[in-house]
Amino acid sequence: MASLISCPHCGTRAKEEFFIRGDATPVRPAPMAGDDMWNDYVHVRANPRGRIREYWQHVAGCRRWLVVERDNFTHEVFSVSDAAAGRGGER
C-alpha cells in the first residue's frame, strides 16, 4: 500500500511527490542568544519514535511547505496543514 499525504491545496497524493525537510518543532533562538543555545538548535536533535511533526514540501504539486503530523514508526499520517498558516504567512 502506498503512503498518501493529503495536501490541503492539491488533494491526496503519493508521498513520492513530496520532499521531507525534517522536524517542525525546534524554535529558532533570538539572534543574540548565547552560543550554547545556537549549538543546541543547529546540532542537537531528539530522535523520538512515534507521533512527530515534520516539514514537507509538495515539490511535484503546488510547491507549498506543509506541516505533516505522522507516526515515524507506522507512517500513519494524522494531519496535514499549510506551514505558512501556522507561522503568520511568512513561508
Strands (E), the chain: 4-7, 11-14, 19-23, 51-57, 65-71, 77-82
pLDDT at residue 91 is higher than 70: no
Contacts of the segment 25-29: beta carbons below 8 A, 24+ positions apart: 25/52, 25/53
Least confident of 13-17, 22-26, 77-81, 86-90: 86-90
pLDDT at residue 18 is higher than 70: yes
Q: Which three cell numbers stand for residue 4?
A: 498518501
- 33-78, pLDDT tens digit by residue? 999 999 999 999 888 999 999 999 999 999 999 999 999 999 999 9
Q: What is the CATH architecture assignment of 4-26+39-86? A: 2-Layer Sandwich (3.30)
Res 66: pLDDT: 97
